[in-house]
Amino acid sequence: MNVTMPAPAYVTLHAARPGSRPMDAEVLWSIPRVGTPIPAPGGDHLAVPVTTFSTETNRGTTRLWRVPTDGGTPQPLTSTERTASQPAFSPCGGHMAFVASAADDPKAPAQLHVLPLLGGEAEGVTDMPLSVFDPTWLPDGSGIVFGAWLFQEHPDVEATRTEAARRKEDPYTVHATEDRMFRFWDTWIAGGTFARLFLYDVASGTVRDLMPGSTLWFNWMDPAGAYDIAPAGDEIVFTGLHVGGPEKRLRSDVYRLPLAAEGAEPACLTAGNPAASVRPRYTPCGAAILYGKTEDPDFYADRARIMRIDRATLEHDAWLADWDRAPSGWVFGDGGDLWFQAEDDGGAPIWRLDLKAARNGATEPEAMIRGGSCGAPKPASDGHVYFTRHAVSEPPEIWRVPTSGGAGERVTTFTDEALVDVALGEVRDYRFEGAEGETVQAVVILPPGYEEGTRMPLVHMIHGGPHGTFGDLWHFRWSTHCFAQPGYVVACVNFQGSTSWGNDFAQRIQGAWGDRPYGDVLAGTDHLIAAGLVDETRMAISGGSYGGYLTAWIATQTQRFACAVNHAGVFDLPLQYASDITWGRPRTMGGEIWDAPDAIDRWNPARHTAGMATPMLVIHGEKDYRVPINHALECYGILKSKGVEARLLYFADENHWILKPRNSLRWYAEVLDWYERFLS
């Protein structure tokens, strides 16, 4: 007797949205990108940065908008003539500082500007030789602290100004170094820039260097949020980066700096910590400093433990140490509780930690809003916390939730017009048994108009990291709906190694990158075939960074897939010694190349190419220092030498990501053409 097995169960995350327009890359680049909300002191409005892009100019422009919190119509605070960002309200709410280039020279270094909100024009108040960032008002409104870049070899304002003028006439093209870490992401550190904090005095209009002589770095990719000012305005704490220890690793530590003493040296508060110390924040009363501490220097996704430093005794104690999630972006609310975001079960809720309970040992945070991915919580004086929220079928917008608890509420609608009548498919959450009997989750996006019971081509989208998540989130660079639109089932398997299920789940692939993730992706494939969704003769794999690695690894192990897309993928593990980060290899790759070449080669795609026969589109950017370009060239060269169908897409002006509008349009066209070629 034949027994019909029930189809695997799922939960619908987002219903299908009917429409007459397809979701494609042109639509994607027409969607405004909504940034972090900044509440005004009175709580009656927000300042919100919104970026729009032009494919004609091939760049974006960010404007600041005044968004009433009572539901009124948003109004622009800045013009379209220049990019303005990083708003900061004065304590009384009468002025707003922000960062922008000059209206008549958008290529000039971004400077600090101040806008009177009761009427008047914005005024540029600094003339720094390189760009400034992250303004914050002193508590009494007498000044504005900001960061600014300087050349390392010319470490004061006027010396940097002279060198900037010289480099404009004679571009800097030669680099020399003896440092282990000499470049980061797409930037040369050796001979490059570093940042210092400065103070603009409102009354005199003068600027003072708060860190003369300091050689500490700020984060090169996003330095904003690295510092905080004490409630009394007498001191600053910040995260400083430096290279230290016998292995010459990059470290991050918390430093304190008195504001009154000119020329004071920053004092390190976390020198004994084993790994990273990040995001220091003063408690509302100013008696203590909270910061995040990681404990595993070889695991970049190690969860942060929230620690407290008593300012009087400098003693450290843990306020959130045993919780098995990874908080970030923490900020104090008016009631003294702590708000932050943290991934959980494929999403990213906003959480609240009652600090009174934390002091008494009760340290379980409360998820205040679930569904989708939330970030950048900002408590306001109107009794709400404002934040960004997005999901697979919803681009980022501003939301809020009452500080006392309750339902979340959407505040802005900047993205609605661009998505009018755009068709989106249903989004499902599947759970299945993974490679080692573990439960593994996958987000699955169906094409618009999908009819139940129809088997469609499958496109796997494999996330990078490897410690990351393709969860319930909107992605501009890898838009799941753009890939589903032509008629494909898109699967995002959150394999073992992914974040949001705790440290152990993320750690278990260390030293064996191709093991459990490979088994999980194949288990997910079989699960979707059993569900009746997928035509197993028309399946593709694709991914970027580590996702490109796993794509290449899968192609060396099986020929089940009709084609592959490998974007910025690690292909030959020893080549990662040319990366910007060269430590931690024993944990991630299974050993150092001089001690354990066989252990490294066990999971090295470049050493398992005998069975590699899957047609592959190989994509890379010349300025990618995280996964250097030779990975792509070697992979492509081997495929062509074997007679395997392959295509190379090379971006001379991009880094690890494809960021320019016209380049992105070409990227989407090439990827979708490759799928059509082998899946149609």
Confidence (pLDDT) at 4 = 39
The secondary structure of 188-231 as a DSSP string is: E-TTSEEEEEEEEETTT--EEESSTT---B--SS--TT-EEE-T
Q: Pick the range with the lowest mean pLDDT from 331-335, 538-542, 653-657.
A: 331-335
Whole-prediction pTM: 0.95
Mean pLDDT of the chain: 94
Separation of alpha carbons 145 and 270, rounded Å: 23
**pLDDT at 171 exceeding the cut of 90:** no
Confidence (pLDDT) at 360 = 61
Confidence (pLDDT) at 6 = 46
Q: For 621-675, how does the pLDDT look when each residue is reduced to its tens digit (9 = 90+)?
A: 999 999 999 999 999 999 999 999 999 999 999 999 999 999 999 999 999 999 9
Tokens 């599947």, residue located: 430
Confidence of residue 361 (pLDDT cuts 50, 70, 90): low
pLDDT average, residue stretch 379-389 = 97
* Cβ(669)–Cβ(486) below 8 Å: no
Q: What percent of the chain has pLDDT over 90?
A: 89
pLDDT average, residue stretch 347-360 = 84
Coil vs helix vs strand at 348: strand
Tell me the β-bridge partners of 242: 251
pLDDT average, residue stretch 186-212 = 94
**pLDDT at 280 exceeding the cut of 70:** yes
pLDDT average, residue stretch 529-539 = 97
Burial 514-530 (b: 16+ CB within 10 A, else e): bbbbbbbbbbbbebbee
Separation of alpha carbons 198 and 426, rounded Å: 50
Burial 432-451 (b: 16+ CB within 10 A, else e): bebbeebebbbbbbbbbebe
Confidence of residue 349 (pLDDT cuts 50, 70, 90): very high
The CATH number of domain 10-16+421-679, selected from 3.40.50.1820, 3.90.1150.10, 3.40.50.720, 3.30.700.30:
3.40.50.1820
Separation of alpha carbons 552 and 565, rounded Å: 9
The secondary structure of 564-633 as a DSSP string is: EEEES---SGGGGGGSS--S-HHHHTSS-TTT-HHHHHTT-GGG--TT--S-EEEEEETT-SSS-THHHH
pLDDT average, residue stretch 143-147 = 98
Confidence (pLDDT) at 107 = 80
- 527, 519, 561: which is closest to 541 by C-alpha? 561
* Cβ(304)–Cβ(278) below 8 Å: yes
Domain residue ranges of the chain, discontinuous segments joined by +: 10-16+421-679
Q: For 223-254, how does the pLDDT look when each residue is reduced to its tens digit (9 = 90+)?
A: 999 999 999 999 999 999 999 878 889 999 99
Q: For 555-599, how does the pLDDT look when each residue is reduced to its tens digit (9 = 90+)?
A: 999 999 999 999 999 999 999 999 999 999 899 999 999 999 999
**pLDDT at 355 exceeding the cut of 50:** yes
Residue 502 amino acid letter: G
Q: For 88-127, how does the pLDDT look when each residue is reduced to its tens digit (9 = 90+)?
A: 999 999 999 999 987 677 789 999 999 999 988 999 999 9
Helix 546-557 and helix 516-530, axial crossing angle in degrees, nearest 10: 70
Q: For 1-51, how does the pLDDT look when each residue is reduced to its tens digit (9 = 90+)?
A: 333 334 558 999 999 999 999 999 999 999 999 999 999 999 999 999 999
Coil vs helix vs strand at 551: helix
* CA gyration radius, the chain: 25
Confidence (pLDDT) at 87 = 98
**pLDDT at 359 exceeding the cut of 70:** no
Q: For 413-464, how does the pLDDT look when each residue is reduced to its tens digit (9 = 90+)?
A: 999 999 999 999 999 999 999 988 999 999 999 999 999 999 999 999 999 9
- Between β-strands 646-651 and 616-621, what pairing exists: parallel, antiparallel or unpaired? parallel
pLDDT average, residue stretch 594-617 = 97
Tell me the β-bridge partners of 390: 373
Residue 564 amino acid letter: A
Separation of alpha carbons 318 and 297, rounded Å: 19
Confidence (pLDDT) at 5 = 37
Q: Is 313 exposed, middle or buried (0-12, 13-18, 19+ CB in 10 A)?
A: exposed
- 651 φ, ψ to 5°? -105, 110
3-state secondary structure 401-429: EECCCCCCEECCCCCCHHHCCECECCEEE
State how far the alpha carbon of 103 is from the alpha carbons of 62, 99, 106, 115, in Å. Answer: 13, 12, 6, 14
